[in-house]
Amino acid sequence: MAAPNPANNGRPTRPVLRQTLSSASFIQDHQQYKPSAPIQTIGNVIGNSPESAFAALSVKANPISPDPEKVTDSGIVHSIFNPQSNELPTGTQQLVATIYYKSADPIHPHLHPDSSPHAGSGQTLPSPMVPVGSAPTVDIEKIPREPPAPEPEPLDHLYGPFVSQLCLTNFLQIIETLPTPYQRTNTSHRCLDRHDQPRVVEVTFSPPPNPDYLTFEDLRKHESIWRFEREWNVEVVLQRESVFRRHKRLVVFDMDSTLIQNEVIDEIAKFIGVEKEVSEITARAMNGELDFSASLRERVSLLKGVPADVFEKLKSIITISPGARELCKALKTLGCKMAVLSGGFQPLAEWLAEQLGLDYAHANHLEIDPTTQTLTGKLVPTYPIIDASQKRSILRSIAAEHGIPISQTVAVGDGANDLLMLHAAGLGVAWRAKSKVQLEAPTRLNGESLVDVLYLLGLTKDDISELIA
């Protein structure tokens, strides 16, 4: 056997496997690769003089610090965040999320009657409910016979009936997880109505998600945001931040079930006893199940013989929606042009425009027999039917007439015949809309007062009070 090389005598012993092919300590085996460190004792650390004690206890005397002659700092900091200030390029797009707490509809867990101390004899579990806007219909009989999806745990009854700090934190966490690839987000927020227990909070964040991975339209309907709304009992309206978001110049409204709480054609039907037939057709048309023009003609035909002065009688029973007067007054003070575009009828649209100070009123014209002064059951053929496409056309024509960019327009409606104008406007709001409309509209609100629309323009409660004073 060859003699060992004397040049290797000064090398450290290489690690070898033991006879059992394993070591009692993985760490112990691999310590052989590291240079031996001098052993520090308590005597080395605590010297006789105060100076030596101070030096020994200084940071540089840390007994486990590496040898400075062999280990140097590379100067590179490894972190998922930029250690410097998160400066964004000038002109980076911002998004604004207006979060409304649904104070009129607090969510509480359904307790089993057996576990409730207030349960009465014979009390049963509550009937299953379909959340508004989560399905094309809220009729439980039309839902497929499948187990209902588990609802998120309602959190507003735990953390308070308002937009809490934890609610905001959860929202920002969701926003941070949406962009792909990851990018750190700058955020800020404002309480628009009150600072303690706010109902409306505006959150601004940038940059928006990369549109190559998540478009703005998909972000508005993202499943994570929908679940967040259900958990915290809130509604989120997303908009692109710009000067046109805050300064609108044209606002158009639907009339029935928007500016007023009634469906006018249903009210007329009560006079002649065909309310049920007309109401069924109206509901299907507003849900988009029937062609609007065809259904309108069918309903109008049932009104044949109704006295022409029926509209005067209806004025006393028409209920203007809560907040409609305040909303229109504030918009008028800001200098906005306003219009009502209704699939209803012209006499009431003109009356409502006078009540609310609107600039335009467009609706359908019913034909009147001049001899009998009764409705003929037909529409005046020289006037166009105010259907979905006509509403969109009127919106665009009024904007063009006043030189208003479409981005400075707002449309508010509740029916399927409003969807085209909601998508055409700079901001389209489905107000307490039918389920299908809530699913398809750009944004939706289900509050108690139409004044909530003003918060979407960035106005605060104090601003609104000043405008309507």
Phi, psi of 56 (to 5 degrees): -65, -30
254 is catalytic: yes
Whole-number Cα distances in Å, 37 to 66, 70, 107: 9, 12, 64
**H helical segments located in 118-164:** 156-159
Hey, is 202 helix, strand or coil?
Answer: strand
Residues in the chain: 469
Distance, C-alpha 399 to centroid of its chain: 27
With contact defined as beta carbons under 8 Å apart, do 368 and 391 qualify? no
256 is catalytic: yes
CA-CA distance, 319 to 326, in Å (whole number)? Answer: 15
Closest CA to 454 of 355, 321, 334: 334
CA-CA distance, 232 to 171, in Å (whole number)? Answer: 10
Phi, psi of 291 (to 5 degrees): -65, 130
**Burial (CB count <10 Å: 0-12, 13-18, 19+), residue 10:** exposed
- Which two tokens mark 399? 């904007």
With contact defined as beta carbons under 8 Å apart, do 448 and 104 qualify? yes
Q: Which of 156, 193, 256, 418 is catalytic?
A: 256
Measured CA angle at 422 (ends 418, 426), to 5 deg: 155
Q: How far apart are the first and last CA of the chain?
A: 108
Residue type, 58: S
Q: Parallel, antiparallel, or unpaired for β 200-206 and 234-240?
A: unpaired
Q: Measured on CA atoms in the order 454, 131, 220, 158, is the torsion positive or negative?
A: positive
Distance, C-alpha 119 to centroid of its chain: 36
Q: Which of 156, 254, 266, 387 is catalytic?
A: 254
**Tokens 């750190």 correspond to what residue?**
184
Residues sharing a CB contact under 8 Å with residue 287, sequence separation 6 or more, in sequence order: 136, 137, 416, 434, 435, 436
Distance, C-alpha 103 to centroid of its chain: 16
Report, as residue numbers or ranges, the catalytic residues: 254, 256
